[in-house]
A and B are shown apart, each in its own frame.
Chain A
Amino acid sequence: MSDDLRSILLEQVERLLSDRSGPDLLRAVERGEWPAALWEEAEALGLPHALVPEAMGGAGLGWDDAVAVWQVLGRHGAPLPLAGGMAAAALLAVGGIAPPAGPIALAVPGEALAWGRRAEHAVTATGGEVALHLLSGAARQEGRSLIGREPADHVALGEPLARVALPPGCGPEAALLAGALLHAAQIAGALEAVLGMTVEYASTRRQFGRPIGGFQAVQQLLAQAAGEVAAAGVAAAHAGRAAARRGLAGGAFEIACAKVVAGEAAGRVAAIAHQVHAAMGFTDEHPLHLFTRRLWSWRDACGAERVWARRIGAEALARGGAALWPDLTAREEEARP
C-alpha cells in the first residue's frame, strides 16, 4: 500500500476511534456490552476485510499496514475485536476462502476467543491449514480476561465449514504468529496512550508549587518510559515489515522480538505511569487502568516474553556464537522486495 493511502487510512481509523471510543466505551466493553455503533462504522470503512486482497473484495493491506492500524487501535484501548478479525480474514483469503461478513474470531491454540459470543465465525490456522468454523449454535462458556476484563469466551469448535492448506510461507503456526503480532502492535499503541496520559498528568498536577513534571526525578522516569515506548513501536513495525515481505513464518523471528520487547515495555511503562499518577491512578475513576490492565493482559496473550525469548534464544544457542551476528543481519537482507 502506498504511503499516502496508508496515512489516509490511519487518519480515518484514528478519527473513528477518537470520536467513538473513550473510557466510557472501554468500561462498557468490560461489562460485556458490544460496541455495535463502532463496529458498524468500522465495517463501513471496510476495516474487517482490509487485509483481504482487492480481487476478493478487500483493501489489499499487508501485515506492515496492519501493524500500523492495530497500533492506532491499541492507542484507544482496542474497544472492539477488530485486529483478530482482520488477521482471521487475511488467513482465510491466503487459503483462497472468501471471508464471511460479520465479526470473525481468530482462534489461537490455548487462548479464549475475543468476543466469541458475538463472532459469527472463527478461524483456526495451525499445522499449515486454515479452517473456517461457524460459531452460531456452538456450545460456549462466556468469560473475560482476568486482568484486561475484555470479553473472552471458550467456544467448542465443531467440524469446519471449509478447510484448506495454507501456502508454505505461513508455516504451521500462522494463527499464533498473527496473534502475537497483533498484540505486540496493540501494546505499542496503548503504550503511546499511557505515556501521553502520564506526561499530561505530570504537566498539570502541582506539588511544592510547580508541576511534578518539573522535578528531575519525574522527568527521568518519563524519559525512560519514552525510550521503551519508542522501542516497542519500532519492534512492532519491524515485525510487520518482516511478515509483509517474508510471510508470517519468515517473519517469526521479528514477531518473537516484537512480542518480547513490547511485553517488557508494557511492564516497565505501566509501572512508571502508575508511579507518576500515584494514588489518583490507583482509583477506578481514573482511566489509566483501562490501558495498563490491557497492557498486562496483552503481554500475556499469544505467548509472554518468556515464551518467545526462549524460542529465539534456543535457536541462537543451537546456531552458535559465530552465527549470531551474521544471522541478525542476513534476515533483513536475504529477501528484499
Chain B
Amino acid sequence: MVGLRFDLRDTPADAPALRAELRAFLAEAGRHWSPMVRAYSWMGFDREFSREVGRRGWIGMTWPRAYGGGERSAMERYVVLEEMLAAGAPVGAHWIGDRQSGPLILRLGTEDQRREFLPRIARGELAFAIGLSEPDSGSDLASLRSRAEKVPGGWRINGRKVWTTNAHRCDFMIALLRTSPVADPKLKHQGLSQFLVDLRASGIAIRPIPDLVGEEGFNEITLDDVFVPDAMLVGEEGRGWEQATAELAFERAGPERYLSSLPLLIAALDDLRAEPAAPEAVGRLLARAATLRQMSLSVAGMLQEGRTPAREAALVKDVGNDYEQALPEAVRDLTDPARTPEEVREMLGITTMVARSYSLRGGTREILRGIIARQLGLR
C-alpha cells in the first residue's frame, strides 16, 4: 500500500492466561449489565467497575511502577482492551485516562504531574475528559477560540468546549486552548497549549447534552474566568497542536474503533440460526472482524515500538468505523422481530442509534479520509 505497512503482530505469550482471568472477571461483573450498558460499551460510565479494573492492575498497564503502572507490554494491554470491548463492559470512567490522558502526562508531563495523576488514574479513581471540540470548531479543530491568558501564578481560561464525553461525571479535562493569538489563519496551528483543568474549579459550568439514544453522554462546558495554576500546563506552551495530534494517534489506534458493535453480533447470533441468509452474512462480518483485528494489532505493535502511527491509525479507524456501522444493519437484515428475544431486539435498536457516532467521534470519516489522501500524495 502506498507508503503504509501493516506488519502482522502476535499477541503476547501470556495472552491465553490473561484472557482467562479477564473472562472470568467480566462474566461475573457483567451478569446484570443491561442491553443499554453493553451497547454503549466504552461510552458507558461506571466508577465502581473502573475501580475494580484498577485494583486488578488493568489500567495504566504499560506505565512505570513508580507511577502506579504495571510495566507490562502494549500488547498485553491490547488483550485487556479487546476483552473489555467484546464483553461490552462500561469502561468509560477509565478509558480516556488509560488511553490518552495518562500516556500524554507520562510523555510530556512534569514529574509532579506524573506523581499526582498517574497513580490515581491507574487505580481507576480519576476520570478524564477530552477538551478539544468547540461549538464553532469541530473538524476544523485548530480554529478553536477558547483561550488561556497569562496571569500571575497561572492562567485565566475563558471559552466553551463541547461534545466532551462524560465530562459531567469526570474529574479532569485536558483542554487544548489558545495561548497566543495569531492574525494569519494559516498559522492557526501555532500558539495552542494543553492544560489539565480541574472540572470542579470555580467558573466551570457543565451542561449535559441529551443524545438521540436518550442518554446524557456528552456535554457543553463553559469556562468563565477559570484559574489554572502554572503547574497544570502540559508539555510546552505553544506546542499544543503537535501534542494533541500525537495524542490523536492514541485516540484512534485502539480496538474500540472496530469492536464497538461486536457485542450485538455475539448477543444476536444464536437467534439467527433459522435464517437462511445468516451463514453468508455472518461469514462476511466474521472475515472483516478477523482482518480488522490484525490491522488493529499491527497498529498496537507500532505503538509498542514507540512510534506514532497517526496515518495507519486513521486508516484502520476508517475501515473499522465502516465495519462497526455495517454490523447492526446486517444483523437487522437477518432479524425477524417476531422470533427475536426482547433483549436482543433492544440491543439492536440501541446499537443502530449509537452507531451513527462511530464515524464522528475521534475524527470524522471525512477528516480520516483526508489524512489518508494526504498519505497518498493527493493533498
Contact = CB atoms under 8 A, between A and B. Distances in A.
A230 B6 contact: yes
A329 interface: yes
Contact of A321 (B10, B267, B286): B267
B311 to A, nearest CB: 10
How big is the A interface, by class? 35 or more
A146 to B, nearest CB: 23
A313 B279 contact: yes
Given A230-B4, A234-B298, A254-B290, A264 B272 contact: no
For the complex, would chain B's binding face be called helix, strand, loop or mixed by DSSP majority? helix
A195 B1 contact: yes
B139 to A, nearest CB: 12
Contacts of B212: none
A223 B282 contact: no
A313 B286 contact: yes
A260 B292 CA distance: 13
A313 B294 contact: no
Contacts of B291: 231, 234-235, 238, 257-258, 261
Contacts of B338: none
Interface string A224-242: 1011111101110110010
Interface string B304-336: 000000000001101100100000000000000
A159 interface: no
A248 B67 CA distance: 47
Given A256-B287, A332-B11, A320 B279 contact: no
Contacts of A235: 287, 290-291, 294
Contacts of B262: 325
Contacts of B378: 199, 202-203, 213-214, 218-219, 222
Interface in A266-312: 305-306, 308-312
Interface of A: 192, 195-196, 199, 202-203, 213-214, 216, 218-220, 222-224, 226-231, 233-235, 237-238, 241, 253-254, 256-258, 260-261, 264, 305-306, 308-314, 316-317, 320-322, 324-326, 328-330, 332-333, 336
24 contacts: A199-B376, A203-B377, A213-B379, A216-B366, A220-B369, A222-B378, A223-B371, A223-B373, A226-B315, A227-B319, A227-B372, A256-B283, A257-B287, A264-B284, A309-B281, A309-B283, A309-B286, A311-B279, A313-B286, A317-B272, A321-B266, A321-B267, A321-B269, A332-B11
